[in-house]
Amino acid sequence: NDALADSLGIPSTLFQPEKGAGVWGGETLLPGMKPLAQVYSGHQFGVWAGQLGDGRGILLGEQVLPNGETLDWHLKGAGLTPYSRMGDGRAVLRSTIREGLASEAMHALGIPTSRALSIVTSDTPVARETMEQGAMLVRVAESHLRFGHFEHFYYRREPDKVRQLADYALRRHWPHLQNEPDRYVLWFRDIVARTAAMIARWQAVGFGHGVMNTDNMSLLGLTFDYGPYGFLDDYQPGYIC
């Protein structure tokens, strides 16, 4: 994604196969990268699903931009993690291209979203309904904090960790609320407003997410985890992706 790479100050030489293929395919780490898989829980289709987590993704690290803002770098299709459950940790080229196209379209439409930075294909076949070509996608987002991160500790009855995570989120993304006596209430209201605004924008362009589970809901009101999404050309009140 040349335009995104330029805006992040990433040299074009890093996208040359002989120099950068290892970075975008997860084989080489850039200085400062400390990859990890996140644990979270969630409700899926209205039912408590318990512990979930990054089953095929790795959070590579954060990039600090010249203006002081930070962006997460996340590698999707990275392979098995402690949270892969029955999956193989892989992504296929078909769905990876779909995510890349949708996220860039949503960005162009002015809708808050993660963005696709690169796609790398793999020679290793991946078994789905048929054998498909594997691929990996590096996406960037201001944060990958999800509703499900908080549910994980709440349902484990670990309120101290819920508060610790909330304080981290406030410090990183809502610093203007840190010293407010009712900061948690104000913070919660802002999350609700961001989420409502995001979904209103979805509706304005006829976008259906398809898997609006709490493990796929961004704390910052970003659209991410593009799966069986779809766009409506004509209004269908009962439409399901």
Please identify every residue annotated as catalytic: 215
- 110-209-170 Cα angle (round to 5): 65
Q: C-alpha 85: how far from its chain's center?
A: 19
Using CA atoms, how far apart are residues 222 and 195, in angstroms rounded to an integer?
A: 8
Strand partners, 42: 50
34-37: which pairs have CB atoms within 8 A and are 24 or more residues apart?
A: 34/61, 35/59, 35/60, 35/61, 35/75, 35/78, 37/81, 37/82, 37/83
Separation of alpha carbons 74 and 65, rounded Å: 16
> Which residue carries 């995001």 as its tokens?
198
Neighbouring C-beta atoms of residue 126, cutoff 10 Å:
19
Q: Is 9 exposed, middle or buried (0-12, 13-18, 19+ CB in 10 A)?
A: exposed
